[in-house]
């Protein structure tokens, strides 16, 4: 008998509003759409983005751990965290032997006619969570990079103004 069909519960616990509640308070866009009064506010925005990235990583780990439970652990597919050279983390699908990676790995499993419908639906839920979390991570990481870059540029502009002002005072 197929061990996948013997599994009692294949219900996937999706990411709920409770899982995101803490993120909602930190991630308000109203703090982004305002005039920034200096590099300090931009550095703060970058810090908040980093904190949100860490929280998103925890959500990603929770989804990954759930995907590692039976009946999904019996499949030739794994959800893994991949750290990028840019410093962010994304959820990826991989074969058990790590020979292949990507959505094609998931598609192959979902199209397996021997897969019970409940397992197929669970994989679909994991994929939807993966897509949403990767989007959120990408946006927040981009915000972090942009805020950090802008803080550096403001610091350079401040330094230029100080140098000019000092030069003018010395020449008078």
Q: What distance in Å separates the CA atoms of residue 10 and residue 70, rounded to the nearest whole number?
A: 8
Taking a C-beta distance cutoff of 8 angstroms, is the pair 110, 100 a contact?
no
Of 52, 19, 23, 21, nearest to 147 by C-alpha is 52
Please state whether beta strands 77-83 and 89-95 pair in parallel, antiparallel, or not at all (unpaired). Answer: antiparallel
Of 88, 127, 91, 125, nearest to 107 by C-alpha is 127
Q: State the sign of the Cα–Cα–Cα–Cα dihedral 62, 68, 69, 75.
A: positive
Over residues 6-22, mean pLDDT: 60
pTM of the model: 0.82
Tens of pLDDT, residue by residue over 45-101, are 999 999 999 999 999 999 999 999 999 999 999 999 999 998 899 999 999 998 999
User: Between 117-171 and 39-67, two packed helices, what is the crossing angle to 10 degrees?
Assistant: 160
Tokens of 46: 């970058």
Alpha helices (H) along the chain: 3-6, 17-26, 39-67, 103-110, 117-171
Alpha-carbon Rg for the chain in angstroms: 23
pLDDT band of 8, cuts 50, 70, 90: very low
Over residues 30-55, mean pLDDT: 87
Tens of pLDDT, residue by residue over 87-144, are 899 999 999 998 999 999 999 999 999 999 999 999 999 999 999 999 999 999 999 9
pLDDT band of 168, cuts 50, 70, 90: confident
What are the Cα distances from residue 15, in Å, to 89, 128, 147, 164?
Answer: 18, 10, 28, 54
Q: What distance in Å separates the CA atoms of residue 118 and residue 116, rounded to the nearest whole number?
A: 6
């Amino acid at each position: 008998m197929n061990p996948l069909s013997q599994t009692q519960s294949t219900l996937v616990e999706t990411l709920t509003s409770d899982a995101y509640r803490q993120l909602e308070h930190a991630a308000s866009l109203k703090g982004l759409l305002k005039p920034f009064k200096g590099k300090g506010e931009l550095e703060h925005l970058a810090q908040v983005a980093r904190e949100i990235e860490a929280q998103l990583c925890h959500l990603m780990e929770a989804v990954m751990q759930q995907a590692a439970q039976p009946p999904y652990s019996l499949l030739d597919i794994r959800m893994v965290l991949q750290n990028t050279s840019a410093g962010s983390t994304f959820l990826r699908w991989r074969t058990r032997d790590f020979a292949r990676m990507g959505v094609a790995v998931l598609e192959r499993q979902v199209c397996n006619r021997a897969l019970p419908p409940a397992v197929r639906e669970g994989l679909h839920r994991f994929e939807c969570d993966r897509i949403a979390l990767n989007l959120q991570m990408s946006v927040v990481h981009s915000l972090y990079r942009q805020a950090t870059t802008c803080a550096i540029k403001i610091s350079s502009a401040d330094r230029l103004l100080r140098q000019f002002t000092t030069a003018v005072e010395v020449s008078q």
